[in-house]
Chains A and B, each alone.
Chain A
Amino acid sequence: MDEGLRSELQKQGIFTTTLEEIYNWGRKNSVWPLQFGLACCAIEMIASTMARYDLARFGAEIFRPSPRQADLMIVAGTVTKKMAPQVVRLYNQMPEPKYVIAMGACAISGGPFKQGYNVLKGIDRYIPVDVHIPGCPPRPEALIHAFMTLQKKIDEQRLSGNGRPRHLDPDAPSEFPVPQFGEHDLVPAKNPDVWKPPTLVSHG
């Protein structure tokens, strides 16, 4: 159906849609985040749920205290190596469809602690991340923008064929290996199926 006819029908009070559209419309407008924060970014995350920024406008006001009831994990803050296995385990316990927003410099790359020994250099080494937000910490507007980006991503997912959501693809993995505490570092230090190191381009 072409767009002109569709908007004409809408003016007459007739609403047309496709299954894919209404399915994704429902999904994207009730994303329930996991109530879970790691450091100072969590304060901004809390602020964005309260009256001033009001994440409820986007259908994400229900922060669930259990991973079993959550769709979205907002990794808000520094992921220390001691905490990383628990974060991956929480992610594994979430049912599909599930999404991840890595919030703040630490969660996406290790941030100011990148040269240190005890902070994970980005949670995307172990779990697939849908939206990265830079900032230290990102303002609530940035989190809302990331959330809208995620909604757009959900909206654009086709329900069949390549690029369909993982819960509709029986071959797609839903759980990812939990790293173990090693003698000097986490074992393994990264999951090569999820994360590839950037290649260095040498300048002349």
Chain B
Amino acid sequence: MTRLEQIKSRIEAALPGARLEIIRNDSPSAQHSLLVDNEHALAVARFLRGDPQLRFDYCSNATGIDWPDAVLKEKVKVKKVVDGAEKEVEETVEKKRQGFLEAVYHLYSMELKQGPLVIRMRTGNRADQAHLPSLTPIWRGVEFQEREIYDLYGIAFDGHPDLRRILMWDGFQDYPMRKDYVEPDDYEYEPTPHDEVLEKTQKHYAQETKS
């Protein structure tokens, strides 16, 4: 954590205006990450690679995450007057969160033997603003991985040299790794269906008998 805070302040000193945020990971792995704003992402990436004390010269992995629209519940302590006396009462506050897509990069330094540094970028929403700056100009190796993110999550990377689908065919319209993706109903028989597979099978046969 301290290391990440040091990196954050170092970037902020070098690039005034860059909006950075540390995303905590409270699981045992404690792999905290750095959220970078889209306008400065390219400059931040260039700095991370070029700075003599950081030298993150190797991006081992780039991947996507889909965060659909959600209602977040948060417990807040509120002071209330109950029966004439002031008491602290816990209340759950519901907050609506607009969905967005995220790209995550894992960076290492081969020269200084350090890492990983996890940086993230977020899109405005999951539809028309699903754009992020491409980091392929900084780390050449993420070209195919960004194409894969584009293929499966639908994040368009601006500045990517060759942004095409990589696994699915060109005319394919969907983004299969999104949470709301509905796969084609193309299997009929399952010897031991259970749970969601059973549901899917029943739905299929209900349609089959109708038609």
Contacts and interface: CB of A to CB of B under 8 A. Distances in A.
Contact of A183 (B172, B189, B197, B205): B172
B184 interface: yes
A6 B7 CA distance: 91
A183 B186 contact: no
B88 interface: no
B167 interface: yes
B172 A184 contact: yes
A134 to B, nearest CB: 12
Given A82-B168, A114-B187, A181-B169, A200 B174 contact: no
Interface string B148-175: 0000000000000000000111111110
Nearest to A125: B186
B188 interface: yes
B26 interface: no
B183 interface: yes
Contacts of A181: 169-172
B184 to A, nearest CB: 4
Interface of A is mostly: loop
B202 to A, nearest CB: 10
Interface in A97-142: 110, 114-118, 121
A82 B184 contact: no
* Residue of B174, B188, B197, B208 with highest tally of chain A CB at under 10 A: B188
A82 B186 contact: no
A184 B183 CA distance: 8
B188 A198 contact: yes
A159 to B, nearest CB: 36
Given A115-B197, A118-B176, A82 B169 contact: yes
Nearest to B190: A114
Contacts of B181: 117
Contacts of A81: 169
Contacts of B168: 82, 118
Contacts of B174: 183-184
* Residue of B171, B172, B197, B205 with highest tally of chain A CB at under 10 A: B172
Contacts of A200: 189, 205
Given A116-B183, A189-B184, A197 B189 contact: yes
B176 to A, nearest CB: 5
Interface string A164-187: 000000000000000001111100
Nearest to B208: A197
A116 B187 CA distance: 10
* Residue of B169, B170, B181 with highest tally of chain A CB at under 10 A: B169
A191 to B, nearest CB: 13
B169 A110 contact: no
A132 to B, nearest CB: 14
Contacts of B172: 181, 183-184
Contacts of B197: 115
A181 B184 CA distance: 13
* Residue of B169, B183, B186, B205 with highest tally of chain A CB at under 10 A: B186
Contact of B173 (A115, A117, A121, A184): A184
Interface of B: 167-174, 176, 181, 183-184, 186-190, 197, 205, 208
Given A182-B171, A184-B174, 5 more contacts: A81-B169, A117-B176, A117-B181, A184-B184, A189-B186
Interface of A: 81-82, 110, 114-118, 121, 181-185, 189-190, 197-198, 200
15 contacts: A81-B169, A82-B168, A114-B187, A115-B197, A117-B176, A117-B181, A121-B187, A181-B170, A181-B171, A184-B172, A184-B174, A184-B184, A185-B186, A197-B188, A198-B188
Question: A-B pairs with the 5 shortest C-beta distances?
Answer: A185-B184, A197-B188, A117-B183, A181-B169, A183-B173
